[in-house]
Amino acid sequence: DGGITQSPKYLFRKEGQNVTLSCEQNLNHDAMYWYRQDPGQGLRLIYYSQIVNDFQKGDIAEGYSVSREKKESFPLTVTSAQKNPTAFYLCASSIFGTSDYNEQFFGPGTRLTVL
């Protein structure tokens, strides 16, 4: 059963702590992405990776970090430097990172709440 998994579904963190969100895909996709979604708004790109061991900043990368050591995994760390981390975080993947015409498949999301 192929797809994208994100864990955990709900995550609570104390202010000042770093936290890592997991994203795994078994679709054999080259590219992976992290988005942030706030209530009533669209998705904003945090980081993306077109290939293993390479990644680029998106539109709102400050306060976040990522790694891409394996093709199937793209974890996102929300650091204490992120001023307003409470949000719904979505991971996505696409077959090719450099082709213009391929859709992104999304995981179920992780809702992060900072207490």
Partner 1 sequence: GESVGLHLPTLSVQEGDNSIINCAYSNSASDYFIWYKQESGKGPQFIIDIRSNMDKRQGQRVTVLLNKTVKHLSLQIAATQPGDSAVYFCAENISTELTGGGNKLTFGTGTQLKVEL
DSSP per position, 16-35? T--EEEEEEE-S--SEEEEE
- Least separation in angstroms between residue 45's CB and partner 1 is 7
Q: Which residue among 1, 2, 98, 115 contacts partner 1 (CB under 8 A)?
A: 98
**Whose Cβ is closer to partner 1: residue 18's or residue 99's?**
99
**What's the gap between Cα 55 and its chain centre?**
12
Residue 111 engages partner 1 in binding (rule: CB under 8 A): yes
- To which residue do tokens 């590219």 refer? 31
What length does the chain have?
115
42 binds partner 1 (CB under 8 A): yes
Q: Is 71 in the site for partner 1 (CB under 8 A)?
A: no
